[in-house]
Amino acid sequence: MPLDESFKDFVLDQLGALDGVRAKRMFGGFGLYAHLRQGSSGQAGEVFFGIVSNDTLYLKTDERTRVRYVEAGMKPFQPSPKQTLKNYYEAPADVLENPEALLEWASEAIEVAAP
């Protein structure tokens, strides 16, 4: 069954202000990658910061950033009934609908994913 790419395209459109964001098929959905410019840390390349699956966006979290996802009632990514990726949490609908808010949350996820 072909993947419905309309939600993925919506997310990429909402993230249009971020340079170098792309989607790659994975987990029966899409992985979101961001290009890192070489900064003071000397790191450059791509980081995996999000997942689009079943019309849901999940963003990379850590102990610090996960708090606001949990407080918003969001759940971690569960690619199968027996597997949960606790570092990727669902983005709230109100964040998805607000490009400025989504850019903030996605930028934070990129920061978490960066080495």
- pTM, rounded to two decimals: 0.90
Q: Is residue 41's pLDDT more than 80?
A: no
Q: Which domains does the chain have, with CATH numbers?
A: 6-113 (3.30.1460.30)
What is the pLDDT at residue 21? Answer: 95
pLDDT for 13-25, tens place per residue? 999 998 889 999 9
Give dist(CA 71, CA 109) in Å, integer: 17
The string of DSSP letters for 33-89 reads EEEEPP-TT---EEEEEEEEETTEEEEE--TTTHHHHHHTT--EEEEETTEEEEEEE
pLDDT for 52-103, tens place per residue? 999 999 999 999 999 999 999 999 999 889 999 999 999 999 999 999 999 9
Burial label, 26 (beta-carbon count in 10 A; 0-12, 13-18, 19+):
middle
What six digits make up the tokens of 90? 């669902």
